[in-house]
Amino acid sequence: MSVMANQYQAINLSQGFPEFEPPAFLKDKINQAISEGKNQYSPSNGLPELLTEIANMVHRQYQVHLADEQKIDGLNNVTITSGATEALWVAIQTLVSPGDEVIIFDPAYDSYEPAVELAGGICRHITLDAPSYAINWAVVEKTINAKTRAIIINSPHNPTGSILSQADLSALQGLVEQYNLYVISDEVYEHMTFDGLRHESVLRYPELFKRAFVVSSFGKTFHCTGWKMGYCIAPDELTAEFRKIHQFVTFCSFTPAQIAIAQMLKAQPVHITELANFYQQKRDVLINALQDSRFTLLPSKGTYFLLLDYSAISPLNDREFCQWLTKEIGVAAIPLSPFYPAEQRPAYQQNNKVIRLCFAKNDDTLLKAAEILCQL
């Protein structure tokens, strides 16, 4: 959709990337690292100072209530990866053997299924329904069988903006313990939850964490998606296995960015604690500007995405609608059907007319797009 948006000079609210620059401090520090000659390989697991700063952040954000021995340890539990995409891929290769089943929830981020299939595994799909896109844990339990190896969760959730609650995490923990499963928890939007709602990280729950890989990305947090800087947090033994694969995928990630991010986490922790407010304001600018439109707005509790139902506006399916919107109307959005398995798409498209907008944009951009959308 971004290619089409550029071709037709449409306002691009499709692909999920911020329109703003990374913090000035972070840019200064990466420039400094490069000009000071810190341009060679870093240790495969990540620079120790960055591993330690990530652990400090996790302790502050999620583990204040835990005893010291339950808290994660940077050097043994954190691995730096080239984006969350690498972390997800490596976690899946670590866990999944041919014939294993992995439960994923649709709509799902697109990298999970190919990674499971490359490992020889099979995805078992469970559909989440609009408008809440909540997980029905009774259905999950019915889907579990002797071949089930792992469950992939994603909260805050791309593309729907839904989030998991404490009750969800405790239902998950019950199933994981009862059936000896593992969890891959994609938390790349961890610092973006709204209206006072708390992000229920797996890192808050020591028992669940014993069987989990928690994946995150600095691209979302520091407005630098192009740097492809991510990480995976897992218990000692799982981390040891994860690192054996990571070593031969990328070996290590971009050294200057690791130096700069470690300094940023230490010097300006407030960037992270203010991120939820920052994005909540963006969400509200867009929601308010769309109040008089004929779209139905779905709740966005986290991420930088808002779903719109366009049933009152057009009979086109979601792909056709997004193409029309980009080419003829001048606003690019993402259809939701590609987030469902190919064989389910035709049936999905018959019953659902939902598109995703990204509000990680300057207010001017959001207001201009909303003004156009209100005319439909």
Ligand X SMILES: Cc1ncc(COP(=O)(O)O)c(C=O)c1O
Binding positions for ligand X, rule: CB under 6 A: 16, 83-85, 109, 154, 158, 186, 188, 217, 219, 225, 228, 230
Query: Cβ atoms within 10 A of the Cβ of 99, count?
Result: 10
CB of 85 to ligand X, least distance (A): 3
The least CB distance from residue 223 to ligand X, in Å, is: 12
Judged by beta carbon, residue 51 or residue 289, the one nearer ligand X is 51
Closest CB 260 distance from ligand X, rounded Å: 16
C-beta of 255 vs 293, nearer to ligand X: 255
| Phi, psi torsion values for 182, nearest 5 degrees | -120, 160
Complex with ligand X: residue 172 or 289, whichever CB lies closer: 172
- Output 173 or 185, the one with its CB closest to ligand X: 185
Q: CB nearer to ligand X: give 85 or 263.
A: 85
Answer yes or no: are the C-beta atoms of 149 and 100 closer than 8 Å: yes
Provide, rounded to whole angstroms, the least separation between the CB of residue 106 and ligand X.
Answer: 13
DSSP string, 215-239: EEEHHHHTT-GGG--EEEE--HHHH
- What's the rounded Cα separation, in Å, for the pair 67 and 47? 26
Q: For residue 91, how many C-alpha atoms fall within 13 Å in the half-sphere facing its CB? A: 36
Strands in 296-297's sheet, in edge-to-edge order, are 296-297, 305-309, 354-358, 334-335
Smallest separation (angstroms) from ligand X to the CB of 292: 30
Give the residue closest to ligand X by C-beta: 83
Quick count: other Cβ atoms within 10 Å of Cβ 289? Answer: 18
* Burial zone of 291 (CB within 10 Å; 0-12 exposed, 13-18 middle, 19+ buried): exposed
Task: Please report how close the Cβ of residue 232 comes to ligand X at its closest, in angstroms.
Answer: 11
Residue appearing with tokens 């779903």: 307
Q: What is the smallest separation between the CB atom of 282 and ligand X, expressed in angstroms?
A: 16
Residue 118 host element (H or E): helix 112-118
Which lies closer to ligand X via its Cβ, residue 82 or residue 148?
Answer: 82
- Other C-beta atoms lying within 10 Å of the C-beta of residue 222: 26
- Which residue's CB is nearer to ligand X, number 275 or number 329? 275
Using CB atoms within 10 Å of the CB of residue 166, give its burial: 0 to 12 exposed, 13 to 18 middle, 19+ buried. Answer: exposed
